[in-house]
Structure 1
């Protein structure tokens, strides 16, 4: 069921890691090593993926490598949204991947790529087709973000929120499906052109969209899914009941599960972007989740072969 374990999400994006607390990423590098060791101790054949870079930055990767963070990593991941947030053209995707390949011998996965329908649903549909042309078959994994629009009554996981202007509101329009579950034109584009692409869909605690999401993923023929298990959520009442329900519902997919989000009471600062007070606690959470959902006695993934 779990094909890979991903350590954190967008560590070079201040919406997910606080550079004021850890300006040189020393704490992040240490946490990554410990988490990678904990995952390997439970299942030594499970690929360990570095939280996807956003922005794509070979210098950042080299910084982490110098600090030993990649010693316990098997795959490097990148995220890109050139029609919404990045300052580069969608046609530059192959070059962006090659920038990272030039500084590492590890496989490179694109674990989030997307186009919002904020300005035009037709542009989003074109973006699905163009992205598939540029990435499918060129990288081992390309996960479209996302299946569902983010409900407008929820908050996007970003630091500055409405102060970002339209950039903030684009977060709510990344799905192939509208908030009410109705399909956008991008659904047809994904079904026609997205063969070989996976989906990245985050599920919130007790997310009402879980079961219909599974139905849509199967309808679209999706095999590879990226989602997350939140360290912060693990402190909620009945957390394991929800985690079990989520992972059981996703049992028919090859899941890259992302471990992230610091519990407020365990961070140096009370925020999900904060480095933890005790990095070993995050590592233990990762190990616990692998023991529960991807023990070494379960079916093992094939060895990784880099594309390109």
Structure 2
């Protein structure tokens, strides 16, 4: 079932929102407000979550509050990767959650947390246990990123790609499973913490891993999942057929669906990070997806 709709992904990260086109995030807040109202009109009981921020920045949450974006969401979310990309230590997780709680009354979700095996699989195995110890009980939703390594033949969704050096290549080593589907050392550790830990797994258009991923998640005891439906992908041939297949495959899980990524021809600039030319077009996409996959049904309440 669809348990929540998330609006965008890492909006305060230039890999997912272009700050040169929207330096004060006014356009982003306008887009979120339009989408939040549109979702509420389709399904008043479906929780709406502000897209997970990275870095964890209380100032950004305050900015969204001033702009009115928090008026249309029921929770906020954070992302953290302290052993790979952040400039803080894994032991600081509770303090990072507290920083956001201090500036909003809304529940704080952890919609992505993960550790790569770029250096060694043993680091990830230790990190799963330490992360679970630090976060379970601190947030109503904890989505481990991710089940699969990103295939080497694909590109990571980030603006500067190889120019980022080793930071870019870490994107390809975040899975509990290797690209070929074989388990890494951390898989068994992760299974010890389900169902308290969920997963974040992005499925690309016509992703060949979908059915196998579902089987693995059930085997691991996963009950809740975060994934995405891409506004940009909605313009591909047979997009709705793919969306239908994806959502049918995931119907046994509590799914947080993330709506994000601007179609090149609908942005102020031809890139997925661009603000849309018309924020109502993104809102219309969100409404259409809720109407199709969560049409007015009663959804799980966001825990406070």
Query: Could you state the TM-score of these two structures normalised by the residue count of structure 1?
Result: 0.98
**In 1: Cα distance, 2:5 partner to 2:110 partner:** 14
Deviation at 1:136, TM superposition (A): 1.1
| Partner in structure 1 of residue 142 of structure 2 | 142
Match of 1:301 among 274, 296, 299: 299
Residue 111 of structure 1 pairs with residue 108 of structure 2: no
Aligned length: 304
In structure 2, the residue matched to 1:28 is 28
C-alpha contact (below 8 Å) 2:194/2:220 kept by paired residues: no
Describe the SS at the equivalent of 1:219: helix
- Structure 1 residues 116-265: aligned runs within 5 Å: 116-265=116-265
Q: Mind listing any 5+ residue stretches in structure 2 that lack a counterpart? A: none
- Look up the match of 2:287: 287
Change (3 A) 1:88 1:101: same
Structure 1 residue ranges, 4+ long, deviating more than 6 angstroms after superposition: none
Deviation at 1:225, TM superposition (A): 0.2
Distance 1:195 1:32 in 2: 30
Cα drift, residue 253 of structure 1: 0.2
Tell me how far apart the structure 1 counterparts of residues 245 and 193 of structure 2 sit (CA, whole Å): 31
Deviations 1:228-256 (A, max 9, x none): 00000000110000000000000000000
Residue by residue over 1:185-242, the C-alpha shift from the partner in whole angstroms, topping out at 9 and shown as x without a partner, is 1101101234400000000000000000000000000001000000000001100000
1:61-120 per-position Cα deviation (integer Å, ceiling 9, x unaligned): 101110111110110000000000000000000000000000000000000000000001
- Residue 103 of structure 1 aligns to a residue whose secondary structure is coil
Residues in 1 aligned to 2:300 and 2:7: alpha-carbon distance in whole angstroms: 20
| Cα offsets for 1:120-151 (capped at 9, x unmatched) | 10110111111110111221000000000000
Equivalence for 1:71 = 71
RMSD: 0.7
CA distance in 2, matches of 1:242, 1:193: 31
Per the alignment, in what secondary structure is the counterpart of residue 64 of structure 2?
helix
> How far 1:303 moved relative to its partner?
3.0
> Structure 1: which 5+ residue stretches go unaligned?
none
Equivalence map 1:12-23=2 (5 Å)? 12-23=12-23
Any conservation in 2 of the 1:132–1:194 contact (CA below 8 Å)? no
Q: Is the 8 A contact 1:129 1:194 kept in 2?
A: no
Distance in 1 (CA, whole Å) between partners of 2:232 and 2:300 is 31
Task: Give the whole-Å Cα distance in 2 for the aligned partners of 1:278 and 1:77.
Answer: 25
3-state secondary structure, aligned to 2:169? helix
Contact 1:83 1:90 in 2 (8 A): yes
Q: Give the Cα–Cα distance (whole angstroms) in 1 for the partners of residues 135 and 175 of structure 2.
A: 19
Aligned counterparts of 1:260 and 1:305: Cα–Cα separation in 2: 24
Q: What residue in structure 1 maps to residue 86 of structure 2?
A: 86
Q: Does 1:274 align with 2:274?
A: yes
What does residue 57 of structure 2 align with?
Answer: 57
Offset at residue 305 of structure 1 (A): 2.8
